[in-house]
Structure 1
Amino acid sequence: MRSLIWVLFAAVLSGCASNVVTDYNDSVVFGNYASWAFAPNAGESSFVSLDGNRVRQAVDRELARKAMRQVPEAEADLLVNWQIVEEERLDQSGVGLGFGFGTGHFGWALAAPPPVRQVSEGKLVIELVDTKTDQVVWRAASRRYLRESQSPETRSKLIDEVVSEMFSKYPPGIE
């Protein structure tokens, strides 16, 4: 019974861990912002990819929930800039192989580590830029990654969840 309590406690603590990291300019009055537009270079590409459409739809939905209206770029208080930052990491998956023998207090063993491969992942970063000062006033970065191996449904769900969690921390101080 005691171990079940510890398992539940660990599950609750891991559920509290945030999947996004935010930063903001603490001298800005976020209540002054009422309108927004996508920055002309949002997504850093000459075309909008499938994930780009998913990000745009999620941002549009979340800012509408904040009662902010989307307007043409020239009339916006904030510009929304986003990008999917590609990161490389080494993935050690599988199990190693090994064998050994011995008797008493003495033995020999030989083992091979699990295979390692390089994996490319995409981390979503969203920035809000004040149009009057051209300064970033709020930034959110995901701790969850998009992978090429994910299905379109999984990618769409992940983007929706991450963008929703990002904007749950906007405006800052209201959590």
Structure 2
Amino acid sequence: MNRTFRIYPTILGIALLICSAAIAQDVKYNFMPGTNFAKYHTYKWISIEGGAHPNQIMDAEIRQAVDAQLATKGLTKSSDNKADLNVGYQIAVDQEKQWNAYGMGGVRWGGGGMATATQSTINIGSLVLDMYDPDTKQLVWTGTATKTIDPSNNQEKNQKNLDKSMEKLLKHYPPK
């Protein structure tokens, strides 16, 4: 009995699903219980001492993405010391190995087609966004977005990825 099964479209679909799940951004947040977030109307940027920061271009891209999202939440950026909220961030970029596999030919019982796998290195970047109450000097909100920072050469792709991840990260700000 010699049956040829054409399962490559199914395998390809499953592989694409796995790959898209693997590169999906992961966001987490936490906040200080009992905080009245309704009192925050303005914010200013601060540097987190000892935190890792990118080059000036990526710094501007990150701030632009966060500024856009905070504006949708009704917060106004301030440059003076009278802001209701201090906002800072830090980043980390690690590398992981990724395997890309593909096959050719049909799959048969008792036999098989040809398959090849290649290895590549991908950058996995995390961004931690912190918000502090300047009066109490306490952390009131923190969020982490992983698979957000990619130091690639494609600036449009980087900005789109940052915008998407900051929208996802700040979706639940202010907490209910």
Q: What range describes the TM-score normalised by the shorter chain of this pair?
A: 0.5 to 0.7
Indicate if the aligned counterparts of 2:93 and 2:149 stay in contact, CA closer than 8 A: no
State the Cα deviation string for residues 16-36 of structure 1 (Å, max 9, x = none): x97421111122111111110
Aligned-residue offset at 1:93:
3.2
Q: TM-score, normalised by structure 1?
A: 0.68
81, 85, 88: which is aligned to 1:81? 88
28, 39, 58: which is aligned to 1:21? 28
* Root-mean-square deviation (Å): 3.4
Aligned length: 149
Indicate if the aligned counterparts of 1:121 and 1:146 stay in contact, CA closer than 8 A: yes
Indicate if the aligned counterparts of 2:66 and 2:166 stay in contact, CA closer than 8 A: yes
Distance in 2 (CA, whole Å) between partners of 1:79 and 1:136 is 9
Distance in 2 (CA, whole Å) between partners of 1:167 and 1:41 is 19
1:67 pairs with 2:74 = yes
Indicate if the aligned counterparts of 2:52 and 2:92 stay in contact, CA closer than 8 A: no
32, 37, 50: which is aligned to 2:39? 32
The residue matched to 2:174 in structure 1 has which SS? coil
Indicate if the aligned counterparts of 1:121 and 1:148 stay in contact, CA closer than 8 A: no
1:50 pairs with 2:57 = yes
User: Which consecutive unaligned segments of at least 5 residues does structure 2 have?
Assistant: 1-12, 104-109, 111-115
Distance 1:145 1:68, change over 3 A: closer
Q: TM-score, normalised by structure 2?
A: 0.67
Aligned-residue offset at 1:74:
1.4
Distance in 1 (CA, whole Å) between partners of 2:58 and 2:152 is 14
Amino acid at match of 1:123: S
1:168 pairs with 2:175 = no
Aligned-residue offset at 1:79:
0.9
Amino acid at match of 1:141: T
132, 137, 141: which is aligned to 1:138? 141
Aligned-residue offset at 1:81:
0.7
Indicate if the aligned counterparts of 1:126 and 1:139 stay in contact, CA closer than 8 A: yes
Distance in 1 (CA, whole Å) between partners of 2:161 and 2:25 is 14
Distance in 2 (CA, whole Å) between partners of 1:87 and 1:132 is 35
Aligned-residue offset at 1:117:
5.2
State the Cα deviation string for residues 116-136 of structure 1 (Å, max 9, x = none): 555432112211111112221
Match of 2:4 in 1: none
